[in-house]
Amino acid sequence: MKYKLSAIGAALLLGTVQFSAHADETCASPYMPKITGQEDFVYVWTLGAEGVGDEQDKLVTIAVNPKSAQYGKVAATVSVGGRNEAHHADFTDDRKFLWAGGLDTNKIFIFDVHSNPGQPKLVKTINDFVAKSGGVVGPHSLYALPGRMLITGLSNHKDHGGRTALVEYSNAGDYIATYWLPTDDNLQGAIKSGQYADGYNYDVRALPRQNLLLTSSFTGWSNYMMDFGKMLADPAAMQRFGNTVVQWDLNSRRPKKVFDVPGAPLEIRCAWAENHNYCFTSTALTSKIWLIYLDEQKQWQAKAVADIGDPSKIPLPVDISIASDDNTLWVNTFMDGKTRAFDISDPFHPKQVFEQKIGAQVNMVSSSWDGKRLYYTSSLLANWDKKGLDNEQYFKAYQWDGHKLSEQFAIDFTKEKLGRAHQMRFGAYALYGQTAP
């Protein structure tokens, strides 16, 4: 069963009304060590599904090194109890611990991945995120700063809408501070450059050499926990999406400028070269690639630079991944199940150079540092995934030779009673001075 947009939902998504509208080694925090060679494992933060296995969210460890006797198989699973709307996960700056969030219960699960990279252990659960943060709901992106974890919230406990904040913790799991997003009625010293200062949030990325922190925007609990088809048919719900990217002072965590980026800008991916002062994002609802760049006057600007597929067909761009050489941007579109590669050697004029259907639905894409391996997972949100036969839940591994993707193996997460495969992060013995057993 495939989704069909209602007339009003389609009109809203296409922007005919005024509202203007998911990572990997090359998208990791610049503060953490990178796996530049062959990764040994992919850790998949997985949503529990009713009637599937133990029905719990879990961290699934998959062996991806061809030299391993377990290659292409599940090496370990750690269930965390209940279904929390498992979504994003990431490492601390020393890469010893993996933090994973639940968008519904607001729990944060901390796994030890360094003691035995092939057998992660759940060592701590943060249960008081909402109370400690002052009412932030929906811990989403977890981003490593030196000795700190910066967490984007998607919502708030007062109205479950999109106004929310950044929340800072220590690596030990202790709360430090909350930084609310600028809004029309409280810009907090930021400059509003366009129509919007909506206070919405989603992803966060930094360019330390420019003292730059960027956040994007999505939607609140009342939308992301709603059935996708019902939401599309609800005019009020369809106006509850973010339209902004915010520039922050990285060191002080103060907002400086709010950009109009219509259409729910999701993942942010920043260039790696020292002379490349720009980042990309993509808008889920208007199907565009946006460039956030430093202009000749040393001011940050935002500009739409390319379409993704045919926006009139509502492909729904989700995750993006930038290559370590800054020449390629991978873009996944959930509705048509495709991955696309864009040549971004000229960041102001991205050009699509490749596309391939991965499945009936596709969400996350993760790339190895050398660009030779790409991994894909299927789940967007429990209530947004497709229904019936199109509800494919998988992990797929591919080789990329610069011209074509060649599938190496696939794991059916429903057949293996694992759940809905979502966020991916890489693991390797060498990171911790260990050798594979």
CA 427, 433, 434, 435 dihedral sign is positive
Q: Check: CB of residue 63 under 8 Å from CB of residue 75.
A: yes
Residues 6+ apart with CB under 8 A from 379: 46, 47, 361, 363, 385, 393, 420, 421, 422
Tell me what pLDDT residue 25 has.
87
Judging by beta carbons within 10 Å of its beta carbon (0-12, 13-18, 19+), is residue 187 exposed, middle or buried? middle
CA–CA dist 314, 181 (Å, integer):
28
Residue with tokens 């998504």: 13
CA 374, CA 310: separation in Å to the nearest integer? 24
Give me the long-range contacts of 353-361 (CB less than 8 A, separation at least 24): 354/403, 354/404, 356/405, 358/332, 358/396, 359/392, 359/394, 359/396, 360/386, 360/389, 360/390, 360/391, 360/392, 361/334, 361/335, 361/337, 361/385, 361/386, 361/390, 361/391, 361/392
Q: How far apart are CA 152 and CA 10, in angstroms?
A: 29
Rounded-to-integer distance, Cα 70 and Cα 146, Å: 34
List of E strands, 130-203: 136-145, 148-156, 165-170, 175-180, 191-192
Cα–Cα distance measured from residue 145 to residue 28, given in angstroms and rounded to the nearest whole number: 11
Token pair, residue 87, equals 């979504």
The token duo for 241 is 């999406």
Cα gap 356→368, rounded to integer Å: 18
Q: What token pair was written down for 126?
A: 């943060």
Distance CA 327, CA 344 (A): 5
Q: pLDDT digits over 372-401, tens only?
A: 999 999 999 999 999 999 999 999 999 999
| Type of residue numbered 180 | W
Transcribe 235-285 into DSSP letters.
HHHHT----EEEEEETTTTEEEEEEE--S-EEEEEE--STT--EEEEEETT
The DSSP element (H or E) to which 133 belongs, if any, is helix 129-133
DSSP per-residue letters across 341-382: EEE-SSTTS-EEEEEEE-SSS---EEE-TTSSEEEEE--S-T
| Strand 191-192, strand 254-260: pairing | parallel
CA angle 193, 266, 419 (to 5 degrees): 160
Whether the CB-CB separation of 308 and 287 falls below 8 Å is answered with yes
Separation of alpha carbons 213 and 236, rounded Å:
31
Query: Regarding beta strands 244-249 and 254-260, do their DSSP bridges make them parallel or antiparallel, or are they unpaired?
Result: antiparallel
Fold (topology level) of 7-432: Methylamine Dehydrogenase; Chain H (2.130.10)
Q: Tokens representing 299?
A: 């001011």
DSSP run (H or E) holding 74: strand 74-79
Domain extent listing, the chain:
7-432
Q: Give Cα 194 to chain centroid, integer Å.
A: 25
Q: What is the largest CA-CA distance in the chain?
A: 59
- Asked if 136 and 130 count as a contact pair (C-beta separation under 8 A), the reply is yes
pLDDT at 18: 32
Residue type at 353? Answer: V
Nearest 5°: CA angle at 86, between 83 and 90?
Answer: 145
Q: What is the pLDDT along the chain (437 residues), one digit of tens a residue?
A: 334 333 334 333 333 333 222 346 899 999 999 999 999 999 999 999 999 999 999 999 999 999 999 999 999 999 999 999 999 999 999 999 999 999 999 999 999 999 999 999 999 999 999 999 999 999 999 999 999 999 999 999 999 999 999 999 999 999 999 999 999 999 999 999 999 999 999 999 999 999 999 999 999 999 999 999 999 999 999 999 999 999 999 999 999 999 999 999 999 999 999 999 999 999 999 999 999 999 999 999 999 999 999 999 989 999 999 999 999 999 999 999 999 999 999 999 999 999 999 999 999 999 999 999 999 999 999 999 999 999 999 999 999 999 999 999 999 999 999 999 999 999 999 999 999 98
- For the stretch 71-94, pLDDT in tens is 999 999 999 999 999 999 999 999
